Amino acid sequence: MKGAVVSEATEIVVGDSVEDVVDRLSGVDFLVVDSKRSEYVKALGLANTSKMGAVLVCKNATQKSIPGFKWHRVLRRGTRVVRSVFLPVGRGLDIAHVGS
């Protein structure tokens, strides 16, 4: 992350385990998960999103490696998916805007 330009309100968290990283976050409004499928399913299930909603991004989300992936299956119960899209950029970006 050397040379990255971020505002004072931006928090970048990197860790060894998904549970360790996600446990330190609350009120998430933008989350990028860059890991194996099993790990980002955990991360999204544990994510405590903002009361105003959030934008969630899964990197390396090629559709072949994620058969039948559905946002509502991996998010906390009651989290509303407003819109989602898969972008064929690199190995794929799966992006969702979720409500509170």
Sequence spans of domains, the chain: 18-98
DSSP the chain: -TT----TT------SSHHHHHHT--SBSEEEE-S-HHHHHHHHHH--B-TT-EEEEEES--GGGSTT--HHHHSPTT--EEEEEEE-STT-EEEEEE--
Question: Which CATH architecture fits 18-98?
Answer: 3-Layer(aba) Sandwich (3.40)
Q: Along the 100 residues of the chain, how does pLDDT read in single tens digits?
A: 556 555 566 777 787 788 888 777 888 899 888 877 777 788 888 888 888 999 999 887 775 555 556 787 888 888 899 999 989 988 888 899 999 7
pLDDT score at 30: 92
> What is the predicted pLDDT for the residue at 4?
58
pTM (two decimals): 0.77
